[in-house]
Chains A and B, each alone.
Chain A
């Protein structure tokens, strides 16, 4: 919850035209995320994360202009918040745990955050290199990625039962 609040603070603290919208998304995001942690419902976590992403989007809609150089750091933080949130709510029983389990998990968490930062940086560099500030290449990439995501969602819904 603290990491979500810290993540929400970055766009909300900027001096923006639509600061009220950023603040609203930040508060809603943190509240819904917290609710998700309390009721242990992944859907609420997803909504909270989406609200935080929307808050970040407000930053660009309001400001426009150049690419945000802090995006890789924000992507790493976003991944960290998501991973910690799902770690918190995953079904488990009070169990004795050997140290290796936590070590592996922390290592994977760190790896995921670093990978997120690197990937975000690569995406930004690719977008900037192609058009300077984006353009047809980015839009093509977006279309392909969006369609790919929808295909993935459809595939997942189709495998809902997922039982053998």
Chain B
């Protein structure tokens, strides 16, 4: 806590001194009468100075919340003495908005405990410190100002809001564990695959009696087994296109969190690679705990400028299991991320690239030269997109305002019609 004399105190003392000296010099009591109130004001004010200590224990009703939802911050403000004029500013990070007026100016009577309830709207995902308060109090005479901060250190995690997705993108190949996906291979399962002649060891319950009667020899049903799959969510954190309210990283974080939740619900194993200035990864695992791990890891994702050249070799091999579907979210603005994705494809991974379109974040330019540069830049990006497509990598441009459902459907359509290139 700090406190300091206001300019008012100095001026009042000066006026009192001048008035009294003037009264003395001119021999007029009127000037002393003018000066006396200021002297009394300053004297009484200084005599009554007592330090102010403000306490404001705070608590949050929720420690985790989704974007665009609310949490309630409850504070109980009190002081060691009455405060006539107390300014309180709730120090909120960008991404949190107080729904009640902030700052506020209140009066605290001696012994009063004021309960403040502040609804906070979570406008952006992230991890925040909430409940830190900056206060300023004045004494009753306005001669001394006290200022201080109160650190509550309450942590609030705001999770990205979910994108709706009716149908998930299925990997080309499944894993060995049972799950909810119909495998392309044949084995024990429910989904009918084909008919074949009976061989020694086939179970009787698999005999297709109708086909057997028609062909005069025993035939059995073949089925597709239900397997799980491995999904790796790959996020490019080398660079992003951003304007104050939104950036490509925000879009990719929201999409990644939604995908992780949906795939984990299908009993698939999901992992995460945050590839950028700081490499962050989670090996593939299934279960609700993994969802929280992934979301917490996504909350820490940020763009950190780095000149270090990084390629796939820096990623631990176990993070990228064989036959995994790699869902890559990238604005394709950094050569290192572009190269890593091509490398992934070259290593035979089932890759789907969601290109987070930076066009809505980059103005076309005012001059002819700027517009020319903009067009050239777009052409280069088109060429890059063509390169991915020629390698059999589904690449879909995700433009602002387009739902994720449409993007995933476009990837699915590409995979339906394009031949898978084995490199």
Contact = CB atoms under 8 A, between A and B. Distances in A.
Nearest to A50: B18
6 contacts: A67-B29, A68-B30, A95-B89, A112-B41, A124-B29, A152-B42
A159 B11 contact: no
Interface string B13-32: 11111111111101111111
B184 interface: no
A67 B33 CA distance: 11
Given A97-B105, A146-B21, A149-B20, 4 more contacts: A95-B105, A96-B102, A152-B13, A153-B13
Interface of A: 41-43, 45-46, 49-50, 53-54, 56-57, 60-61, 67-68, 71-72, 74-75, 78-79, 82, 86-87, 89-98, 100-101, 104-105, 108, 112, 115-116, 119-121, 123-124, 127-128, 134, 138-139, 141-143, 145-146, 148-150, 152-153, 156, 159-160, 162-164
B15 A96 contact: no
Interface of B: 1-24, 26-43, 46, 51, 84-85, 87, 89, 100-107, 138, 140, 142, 145
B17 A150 contact: yes
Nearest to A113: B37
Given A95-B103, A153-B13, A138 B5 contact: no
A95 B84 CA distance: 15
A53 B6 contact: no
A141 B32 contact: yes
> Quick one: which of A42, A54, A150, A160 has the most chain B CB within 10 A?
A42
Given A53-B15, A116-B37, A98 B4 contact: no
A149 B10 contact: no
B15 A46 contact: yes
Nearest to A108: B140
Contacts of A71: 30, 33-34
Contacts of B27: 134, 138-139
A78 to B, nearest CB: 6
Contacts of B28: 57, 60, 134
Nearest to B114: A98
Contact of B107 (A41, A67, A100, A164): A100
Contacts of B104: 95-98
Contacts of B2: 163-164
B17 A82 contact: no
